[in-house]
Each structure stands twice: as structure tokens, then as C-alpha cells.
Amino acid sequence: MVLPTRLAVSHLKGEEWCDNAKGLEAYPALIRHFEAVDPQFALCWQMEYLLGTYGALKYYAWKYFKKMEQTELAEIYKAVYDAWQEAFRIKKEQDVSQTEVKVKIAALLKSAHENEIKAVEIMEKIA
């Protein structure tokens, strides 16, 4: 379990080759688009793609920790996954040009971000 946990921590801390916002730092970059006055990016198909694909990755993290009997991490990632899925559902079904809709999505992503910060703290202790 130690090696996969170290890999997850490394990923979440952004220790990868990509120049884009990565790991936990991707959250503020993503949330900013929903908090912006100009909703152009939030309206585009890429935002839906990001919410859908990254949400799926959170599902796999939840299932992995559940399989490894890491109950606390599994519960955290279940909450993270649920937040991403709800944000994705809202983006698909509601008018994201409306301020209250963008606020809902941003709040869900902030909640997921806070939970992943907790997850990193836990994983660093066991890695």
C-alpha cells in the first residue's frame, strides 16, 4: 500500500512534468472559472469534459481505498466523487450562466478540494 499511496501524494502535490495547474492546485484554477464574472469558459464543453473525466478518476480512488480497506480514505474519496458528480450533473442540466448555478458548482469543487487536502495529510502519515 505504501508505493501507491506515495504515488497518490506525489500526484496531488503536483509533482509531475506538466506545466498546467496540477494536483490540488488544479482546484483553484478550475473554481476560478465558475467564480468569474465572464462565464464563457464555464459555458464551454471543455468544462463539462473536465468535470466528467476528473470525476470518474475520483470514483477509482474511492474504490481503490475501499478495496485496500482504508476506510477513512475511502469515505473521503466517496465524498469527493459525489461532489464532482453533482457538479457535473449541474453543469449538464442547469444554466451555468446563472450566478447561483456557478456558485453551487464552485462550492462543490471547494468541498472536494478540502477533502482531498485531508486525504493527502492522511496518506502522508501512512506512506
Tens-place pLDDT, residues 65-102: 999 999 999 999 999 999 999 999 999 999 888 889 99
Q: Tens digit of pLDDT for each residue in 20-53? A: 788 888 899 889 888 876 666 656 778 888 899 9
- What is this structure's pTM? 0.87
**In Å, how far from its chain's centre is CA 75?**
14
3-state helix, strand, coil split of the chain in percent (to 5) is 80, 0, 20
SS (H, E, C) 52-112: HHHHHHHHHHHHHHHHCCCHHHHHHHHHHHHHHHHHHHHHHHCCCCCHHHHHHHHHHHHHH
